[in-house]
Amino acid sequence: MLGGLARRALPDGRTQVIFRSGSDLVCKTPGFYDNAARRLDQELNRAYLLAEGHFGGQNLYMDEMLKNVSFARMVAEARSTSMLKRTPPYTLLPHVQPYPSELVIR
């Protein structure tokens, strides 16, 4: 994980790792979604329904979000990231370092 997005500094100066790996992030996604959905329903009074009215009954944002979280649940239940087939292309020249090594959380 890079860039500090998967860690946070604690008041005592230690660093807490939020996601240990990409697969950990995928496995935790359904729980994040459940909490976010509860907040959308309760705290934001289902404001996402306004998009359905605007777009004639379809809510592309919610449809895609549900599709993605369903896939994340399936990956988490399978306990295997082999279903995550995407391999990003490597486009850097051989001598170019892709990111500063101090950004990597081990």
Q: What is the pLDDT of residues 6-50, one digit of tens each?
A: 888 899 999 888 887 778 888 899 999 999 999 999 999 998 888
Q: How far is residue 68 from each of residues 55, 56, 81, 95, 106, measured CA to CA in Å?
A: 21, 23, 14, 36, 27
Residue 101: pLDDT over 80: no
C-alpha distance from residue 69 to each of 35, 48, 53 (Å)? 12, 17, 24
Q: What is the pLDDT of residue 48?
A: 86
Q: Does the pLDDT of residue 79 top 70, yes or no?
A: yes
